[in-house]
Amino acid sequence: MSATPPLNDEQKKLEQMVIFSIDVAQEMLNAYEAVIPFGVRAFADSDEIKMKCFQEEHPKANWDELIQTTVDELKNSVELEDIFATAVVLSVESKDSIGVALQIDTRKGPALFVYPYHQEEDKWIIDEPTQAEMLIAPRVF
């Protein structure tokens, strides 16, 4: 039996950011039945994680405009603060499925994960992710 190696600080921060992002996505699904584009940033020098959604500030903005506003805000925060990683999170659809897209970006590069979700009775269930090849938003770093 082999033991799982311990997570390093970077892995822990990324894991915390993913859990935080999926928790917020779950709350949005429960409230709106969709995940409105939002951004998340994790700081290099602390365990703090911050989230920002621009829907209320820009109620007439379309999906692409909300994504671009989110990316612009994240890029600005990377320039002004010591940011370890960012994430852009939103609902995505294909012909036969729907999911939460979570695009993580660090100085080492981006990664996109899609968490399929479905409704059972009146409850939204977010399933395990798959890694995707394409990105949903421009890179932040």
Distance CA 19, CA 133 (A): 21
Query: What is the arithmetic mean of pLDDT over 40-45?
Result: 95
Q: Which long-range contacts (CB under 8 A, 24 or more apart) does 115-120 make?
A: 115/22, 115/25, 117/29
Task: Please give the share of the chain, as a percent, with pLDDT higher than 90.
Answer: 89
The pLDDT of residue 75 is 97
Distance CA 63, CA 65 (A): 5
Specify the DSSP class assigned to residue 65.
H
Task: Look up the pTM and report it.
Answer: 0.92
Query: What is the arithmetic mean of pLDDT over 38-62?
Result: 95
pLDDT band at residue 2 under the 50/70/90 scheme = low
Q: For residues 1 and 10, which has the higher predicted lDDT (pLDDT)? A: 10
pLDDT band at residue 4 under the 50/70/90 scheme = low
